[in-house]
Structure 1
Amino acid sequence: MAYGVIPSGFELKRLPEILADIEAANVATFGPGVVQSPASPLGELNGLHADLAASLWEIALSVYQSLDPDQAEGVRLDQIAKLRLLTRGLGESDIDFRQAITNAGRARIDMSDLGQALSALNGVTWVQTYVNETDTTDADGIPRQHVAVAILGGDDDEIAQTIRAYVVPGIGTHGNTTVETTIEGFCRSIKIIRPVEIAVEIEVDVIARPDRNGCPPPSALSIAAGLADALTGASRPRNGQDVTEYLIRQAVESRYPNIEVDDVRASIVPASPGAVPVAISFFQIMAVSADRISIVVA
């Protein structure tokens, strides 16, 4: 049987197999009458030799695994990520970071890499990347053959430097903020989207029912807090996403299966809530807080 690095991966040679090979080699050298029972002097030497060899095989396996992003952990995973210009985000687990390195479940590898790198920058709280590879301006106003990065927080120059590492010369950048920076001795203008946060007020009429176990539904305050959580942070709706009934229904009903959204009203502060949708432009992003969410339970 083959051991070590083979086409299917790494085959570990274990202690019983190592000991058997050592005993077979002794028989070939000293003859079939050689005494190598576990209690014999030669048997004890065999065991010591096998233990040392097994440890070396385990080290070899660890080295092999440390080169594979699907198996590497901790600092070694961070080192592998540097080959793809990626940095672990604050508090990001090995599992999540491994998916970012291997692009598991992601169709746009280049945009995924750019988003991951930007998210890891100090002070960045939210980021969304866009690309228009067509020959016409798209529905969001992004010109043809341009990349757009919408981002909250972080330093403009660090953001521009990071974008340049992923966006090759000849591909334009689109945004409402121009960052003048020097990259490899050349002056470059990088455009980014700094979305204007638009305060939104939301009113939701819901129908509440006990769950299947007979437990009462959450309170109006709990529903408001859950909705606010769904619409903020890294999971917040992207820039240019309108306030719609579908958005609110999805956020509430996916979190609370025993809550049904009956009606939604919203507005841009300080206007009073009215019929949805409420339009948010591409250079804007909705800002929601629990104290601006009213839940009416039927």
Structure 2
Amino acid sequence: MTMKPKRLKKGDTVAVIAPASPPNKENLKRGLKFVEDLGLNYKLGKSLYSEYGYLAGNDEDRLADLHEMFLDDEVKGIICAGGGYGTARIASAIDYDVIKDNPKIFWGYSDITFLHTAIRQQTGLVTFHGPMLASDIGKEEANQTTKDTFQQLFTPADLNYSPELSQIDELVPGSAKGILVGGNLSLLSSSMGTPFEIDTEGKILLIEDINEEPRAVDRMLNQLFMAGKLQESAGIIVGDFNNCVPERELSLTLEEVIDHYIKLAGKPALKGFKMGHCSPHIGVPLGAAASMNTKEKTLFVESGIK
């Protein structure tokens, strides 16, 4: 059963945690100022500034931050500082009843994809695939449209994504309905064979990635295709694939790779959405009802809050 979290209001407190890698401190400082500008207060996870190799503290500490912020009645939403790597390391240790019994806004993307998938499939909670405080908002060149996407947390508003926002191209014609799922392709492929394997059946699947050669994108899409994940979906939305260029002389292009697998799957598909490691970056609720129409080149996603 789908659960929508309650909306934020001015004066609310949100938590800022780093469940994956350590965030850039200067960027995070600017990101926290943005939270204040939204009219919100914030609490920081205890391991937010910790560094344990490529992790923001050890697994136990990052897990404790996640649990603590869902249990804290004062906290009305949780915003991830950044991605990197590490969320899959804690997924099997999460007490999903804590989340189910204390539903609230959970926001992030990239490596956070693993948590989006796990939380939705274990609890039914709608979570948000959107720009993060250090990775996006805190950059000096942060785009205003990227910042504006946080407004969907305050006022219920459906997303009507049309070619006015970016150039949208049809890959496979048709229309589809289903809840929106997915996120970062690397994390979706790494969920395969785990208790948190992405369920795409009858759903609209969003994919995006960064810094992966076409050969790597090919490997991951092939894995999803062989597992039936692409062809089980109702439709496919291709987000931004930032800097996914060949590093070798002999290579297929990214477009050739994506087109090959999307057309093999044969499900209605569109590409060109500003979702992922891009600017602007438009946040979307995962687990919310969605529909797409390739003739009109549109995506509709129902509001993720109540």
| Higher-RCO chain (CA-CA 8 Å, sequence separation at least 6) | 2
Larger radius of gyration: 1
- Normalising by structure 1, we get a TM-score of 0.25
